[in-house]
């Protein structure tokens, strides 16, 4: 079982309009809703790849109920979300069908009480013991300690379970110091963490700060991985336009699935880039078309070298 943690879950709403124009009224041509937040997006992709997944975090209010109903209809995902009094947030993506571009609107998360946090920790400590790997993903909602991810990393490592961290800002800085197995920042998050704007130099700095492996998302240019086994870059065959919601999470799913399947790093990166690119091309946030993904697997380019033994 792979455990995904989404402390700031969301109900993802996607609107399609023929053309998005500022200061104008728009007729929405299509609306979709689905469980969201980074870890839930990861869980959905992992399940689509055939992995057993348990999803934990928080859910509350009417949107939380809608989110849980959506999870109940998501094959392969076990719902271990903690109920709270606060209301789960929504994220809204407005897709311009004339260009394929998307505009994202993210609501703030609910207030998490000390009692909520204590209940979550109890559940997490139980679940992590039977996990093959853990993904800690996304922002922290109000009320959650800024060092939360550092604590969760230490708990996983104490149980001998590999852990991937995908967050930003101070939670990332503290989480890296707890020595996660993998961190997956984007270029801006990595620069904020290290002060270095050249990706390779920044990744080297992040490893010195505690991360065993750094996989940096470089947007349309793909991924850069700096590991104990070597360094690689993986790139999609072409630049694509579409809805980027969930693309980074699809990459995380690719990395985690490759980890538990014991794939070599070039194959993990190929899978991650192919999934990420296929997700951008999909009409609904966080989904991917299996045929597109399989075609992209043959087209992703990986360069780099293993470290000499």
Kindly list the catalytic residues.
249
Burial of 253 by CB count in 10 Å (0-12 exposed, 13-18 middle, 19+ buried)?
Answer: buried
Helices 187-194, 169-177: crossing angle, 10 deg rounding: 70
Say if residues 252 and 269 touch (Cβ distance below 8 Å).
no
DSSP-based helix, strand, coil % in the chain, nearest 5: 40, 25, 35
Helix (H) or strand (E) holding 296: helix 290-297
- Tokens describing residue 282: 């999909």
Say if residues 187 and 218 touch (Cβ distance below 8 Å).
yes
Say if residues 213 and 227 touch (Cβ distance below 8 Å).
yes
Q: Are strands 2-6 and 53-60 parallel, antiparallel or unpaired?
A: parallel
**All residues at 6 or more sequence positions from 295 whose CB lies less than 8 Å from its CB, including other chains:** none
């Amino acid at each position: 079982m792979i455990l995904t943690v989404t402390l700031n879950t969301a109900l993802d709403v996607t609107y399609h309009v023929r053309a998005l124009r500022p200061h104008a009224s728009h007729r929405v041509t299509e609306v979709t809703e689905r469980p969201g937040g980074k870890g839930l997006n990861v869980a959905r992709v992992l399940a689509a790849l055939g992995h057993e997944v348990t999803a934990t975090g928080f859910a509350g209010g009417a949107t939380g109920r809608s989110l849980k109903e959506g999870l109940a209809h998501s094959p392969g995902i076990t719902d271990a979300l903690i109920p709270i009094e606060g209301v789960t947030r929504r994220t809204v993506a407005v897709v311009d069908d004339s260009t394929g571009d998307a505009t994202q609107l993210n609501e703030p998360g609910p207030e998490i009480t000390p009692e909520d946090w204590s209940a979550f920790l109890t559940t997490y400590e139980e679940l992590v013991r039977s996990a093959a790997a853990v993904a800690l993903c996304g922002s922290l909602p109000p009320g959650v300690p800024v060092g939360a991810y550092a604590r969760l990393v230490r708990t996983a490592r104490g149980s001998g379970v590999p852990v991937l961290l995908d967050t930003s800002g101070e939670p990332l800085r503290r989480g890296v110091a707890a020595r996660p197995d993998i961190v997956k920042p984007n270029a801006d998050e990595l620069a904020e963490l290290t002060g270095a704007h050249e990706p390779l130099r920044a990744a080297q700095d992040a490893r010195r700060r505690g991360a065993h492996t750094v996989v940096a998302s470089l947007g349309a240019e793909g991924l850069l991985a700096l590991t104990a086994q070597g360094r690689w870059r993986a790139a999609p065959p072409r630049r694509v336009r579409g809805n980027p919601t969930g693309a980074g999470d699809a990459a995380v799913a690719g990395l985690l699935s490759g980890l538990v399947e014991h794939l070599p790093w070039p194959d993990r990166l190929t899978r991650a880039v192919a999934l990420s690119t296929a997700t951008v091309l999909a009409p609904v946030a966080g989904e991917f078309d299996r045929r597109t993904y399989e075609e992209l697997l043959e087209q992703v380019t990986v360069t780099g070298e293993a470290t000499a033994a």
